[in-house]
Structure 1
Amino acid sequence: MTALPPLPAQPEDTPWPTGDWPRSDLPTNMDRARFQRLMDHAFAATPPADLGETFCVVVIKGGRLIHEQYAASHGPDATCPSWSKAKSITHALVGMLVKDGRIDIHAPADVPEWRQRDDPRRAITLDQLLRMSSGLAFREDYVPEHPSDVIEMLWGAGKEDVAHFAASFPLEHEPGSFWSYASGTTNIVARAAARAANAFGPDFEAFMRERLFGPLGMASPIPKFDRAGTFIGSSFCYCTPRDFARFGLLYLRDGVWDGKRLLPEGWVDYARTPTWQQAGAEEPYGAHWWLGIAGPGSFSANGFEGQYTVVIPDLDMVIVRNGKTSLEMKQNPKKWIADIADCFRTA
């Protein structure tokens, strides 16, 4: 396996953005003309057909905010949907419980629906859930006219208790033998985290704010919960773009913030270590983080309709993009982000 690129430390002359973001100009040794063309395209008065609407872009380099741009309808204080970027937030919360010694990701997951002695699902581990390799027969499709378990979970029969809905699916493959991206698995993980913390609904939200959002200075997050008190960690944690960038910086800094380790040692490497995938799988995946969209070693929290928080270790960079891109054009924002990153690699 290829060695993971090192994660850069916060420069000694750069304060942590727990309050305001420290700022800097765009570096001189980059392709500024290309960068400007890409930004002009994304923020054109008429949204371009290949990208759709871009609400905001925030670029962090060396721990400093070097560029931010907003559509007329948005601004620094506007919260944006996370969609599946929330999955990576769920990964962080599990990591904190691992650090506390309250969760073992390699043990069978704490799922009440799977406790019968003859239930083959009882062997599924949190690691397999975090790596989207549980083997559960869950259909991830966002087209309303298609059969879709995720739409039913979020807005239909499963919306009152998303984890129970997801945990009710049978096995389709032996656990660990088949990769299949599924939002239902994240909500099973989110409930397992709540059970480990012995905190649901407002109590779990307080845990999120005390352990993750508060230390990072993330004042804007609005996490959503179902009626059973489970954080809908698959899909719903609204944030401002700058706060999404703070979360990305935590992972770029190996889970350490202002001298304090928030995530267990090795947890970020766990997130960015490739998961085995069968031939033809969508794109490289780690553990609740996607891999490689902005060059080798990059990893990202990706959300429906073009929401991205991209961590790029070799450039000491975080790029946040929120917007509304059609499903047919879903690859284009990834290419656009990769092009933005390349502006800093070639002058």
Structure 2
Amino acid sequence: MTKLPPLPAQPAGVPWPTTEWPEAKPGTATAAKLAPLLDLAFSDPAPASLGETHAFLAVQGGQIVAERYWTGFRPESTHHSWSQAKSMTQALVGILVREGKLDIYAPPDVPEWQGADDPRRTITLDQLLRMSSGLKFAEDYVDAGVSDVIEMLFGSGKEDVGGFAATFPLIHPPGTAWSYASGTTNIVARIAARALGASGEAFRAFMFRELFGPIGMTSADPKFDKAGTFIGSSFCFCTVRDFARFGMLYLRGGVWDGRRILPEGWVDYARTPTPVPPTETYGYGAHWWLGMAGPGSFSSNGYEGQYTVMVPELDLILVRNGKSPLDQKDEVMRWMGDIADCFRV
């Protein structure tokens, strides 16, 4: 059993940022280390190694300790989540688990898989959340000719993303192979809607009532397809401060100002490792990535360099939004790790 680092409690006397974020200054040594890294990221023109960094925020001990914006962006500017929305989908599943509407270890309600001889009917929600369903799906963001994700989001699947993704066949027995797939998340989002018995505006109301509203994510703007499914793989715009609020919910173990939002143990479930191929630089949990800012860290990661990273040992949240081409991805992730190291003083 993997030993997970403990999650830090909200420091006494620091208010929860439901409406406003408390602010503090970083330590002198941390500030000195941060300055050149932030100056590089926000230089104009943007550095070739990182691409554009539109916003950066660091929260430590529940307080904003560093914040910077690219020209034309402000604290109230919203940013593309891309795949950070996957982790939000995991939170919504957790809420439905808390309400007794979903069992992650049971095969979920996917109409396309219900035939008596359909091998997909044994796939569990847990295997979907761990990207280990065994379903075929080509996750390619560049080549539209071979990309199932481009076809799903912008082509023939865009009006019913969950239904499109659910048509793909098995290529591995469920639970035996890891393969990151946006189609998987949209199947999960549709499962959540069916479990709730609500889609479209009714599902949006659920998201705000149970998740976004209680933690103060007033800027959240989730997008839905024509079938009424939250496009949980890719589309929930937020301010950088609201991405940090979402990270805070997880860093605090799913509790917000005394109210339990996520079920007991849900955050530990999210950050418990799933076996991944040795070719993967970072680990994976359940719709959350692992290890970007050192052992024990976990993060929601999005295309073009959208990151919300939690570092429990430092009581630290790092948020970066920007526009970085795919060939700069590794360098941006290293930069995030270097930022976290500034707080290890």
Structure 2 length-normalised TM:
0.98
Report deviation, 1:282.
5.3
**Alpha-carbon distance between aligned partners in 1 of 2:330 and 2:145, rounded to the nearest angstrom:** 21
Secondary structure at 2:247's aligned position in 1?
Answer: helix
Secondary structure at 1:91's aligned position in 2?
Answer: helix
**Alpha-carbon distance between aligned partners in 2 of 1:266 and 1:284, rounded to the nearest angstrom:** 19
**Alpha-carbon distance between aligned partners in 2 of 1:3 and 1:23, rounded to the nearest angstrom:** 32
Q: Which residue of 2 aligns with 1:218?
A: 217
Q: Which residue of 2 aligns with 1:24?
A: 24
Is the 8 Å Cα contact of residues 273 and 287 (structure 1) preserved in structure 2? yes
Matching residue's letter, 2:136: A
Report deviation, 1:11.
0.7
Report deviation, 1:27.
2.0
**Alpha-carbon distance between aligned partners in 2 of 1:156 and 1:145, rounded to the nearest angstrom:** 9
Is the 8 Å Cα contact of residues 302 and 308 (structure 1) preserved in structure 2? yes
1:138-183 deviations in whole A, cap 9, x for unaligned? 0000113540000000000000000000000000100000000000
Give identity over the alignment, percent: 63
Q: Which residue of 1 aligns with 2:32?
A: 33
Secondary structure at 1:314's aligned position in 2?
Answer: helix
Closer/same/farther in 2, CA of residues 31 and 11 from structure 1, 3 Å limit: closer
Is the 8 Å Cα contact of residues 254 and 268 (structure 1) preserved in structure 2? yes
Secondary structure at 1:65's aligned position in 2?
Answer: strand
Report deviation, 1:313.
0.2
Report deviation, 1:276.
1.3
1:220-262 deviations in whole A, cap 9, x for unaligned? 0110000000000000000000000000000000000000111
Q: Which residue of 1 aligns with 2:123?
A: 124
Q: Which residue of 2 aligns with 1:58?
A: 57
Q: Which residue of 1 aligns with 2:90?
A: 91
Is the 8 Å Cα contact of residues 87 and 234 (structure 1) preserved in structure 2? yes
1:294-322 deviations in whole A, cap 9, x for unaligned? 01100000000000000110110100000
User: What residue ranges of structure 2 are gaps of 5+ in the alignment?
Assistant: none
Q: Which residue of 2 aligns with 1:104?
A: 103
Report deviation, 1:5.
0.3
Secondary structure at 2:172's aligned position in 1?
Answer: coil
Report deviation, 1:109.
1.5
Closer/same/farther in 2, CA of residues 145 and 262 from structure 1, 3 Å limit: closer
Is the 8 Å Cα contact of residues 131 and 288 (structure 1) preserved in structure 2? yes
Alignment of 1:224-243 (within 5 A): 224-243=223-242
Alignment of 1:291-330 (within 5 A): 291-330=290-329
Q: Which residue of 1 aligns with 2:152?
A: 153
Report deviation, 1:45.
1.4
**Alpha-carbon distance between aligned partners in 2 of 1:61 and 1:107, rounded to the nearest angstrom:** 38
**Alpha-carbon distance between aligned partners in 2 of 1:213 and 1:80, rounded to the nearest angstrom:** 16
**Alpha-carbon distance between aligned partners in 2 of 1:27 and 1:124, rounded to the nearest angstrom:** 49
Q: Which residue of 2 aligns with 1:69?
A: 68
**Alpha-carbon distance between aligned partners in 2 of 1:25 and 1:343, rounded to the nearest angstrom:** 14
Matching residue's letter, 1:317: L
Matching residue's letter, 2:23: R
**Alpha-carbon distance between aligned partners in 1 of 2:245 and 2:153, rounded to the nearest angstrom:** 27
Secondary structure at 2:68's aligned position in 1?
Answer: strand
1:242-287 deviations in whole A, cap 9, x for unaligned? 0000000000000000001110000000000000123334531000
**Alpha-carbon distance between aligned partners in 1 of 2:160 and 2:178, rounded to the nearest angstrom:** 24
**Alpha-carbon distance between aligned partners in 2 of 1:248 and 1:241, rounded to the nearest angstrom:** 11
**Alpha-carbon distance between aligned partners in 2 of 1:109 and 1:304, rounded to the nearest angstrom:** 28
Q: Which residue of 2 aligns with 1:137?
A: 136
Q: Which residue of 1 aligns with 2:4?
A: 4
1:47-77 deviations in whole A, cap 9, x for unaligned? 0001000000011000011111000121101
Report deviation, 1:32.
2.5
Q: Which residue of 1 aligns with 2:259?
A: 260
Is the 8 Å Cα contact of residues 56 and 67 (structure 2) preserved in structure 1? yes
Structure 1 length-normalised TM:
0.98
Q: Paired residues, what number?
A: 345
Q: Which residue of 2 aligns with 1:285?
A: 284
Is the 8 Å Cα contact of residues 179 and 281 (structure 1) preserved in structure 2? no
**Alpha-carbon distance between aligned partners in 1 of 2:24 and 2:149, rounded to the nearest angstrom:** 41
- The answer to whether 1:14 aligns with 2:14 is yes
Is the 8 Å Cα contact of residues 15 and 22 (structure 1) preserved in structure 2? yes
Secondary structure at 2:38's aligned position in 1?
Answer: helix
**Alpha-carbon distance between aligned partners in 2 of 1:221 and 1:281, rounded to the nearest angstrom:** 31
Matching residue's letter, 2:105: H
Secondary structure at 2:57's aligned position in 1?
Answer: strand
**Alpha-carbon distance between aligned partners in 1 of 2:282 and 2:9, rounded to the nearest angstrom:** 28
Closer/same/farther in 2, CA of residues 189 and 39 from structure 1, 3 Å limit: same
Matching residue's letter, 1:11: P
Report deviation, 1:333.
1.1
Pairwise CA RMSD of aligned residues?
0.9
Is the 8 Å Cα contact of residues 282 and 292 (structure 2) preserved in structure 1? no
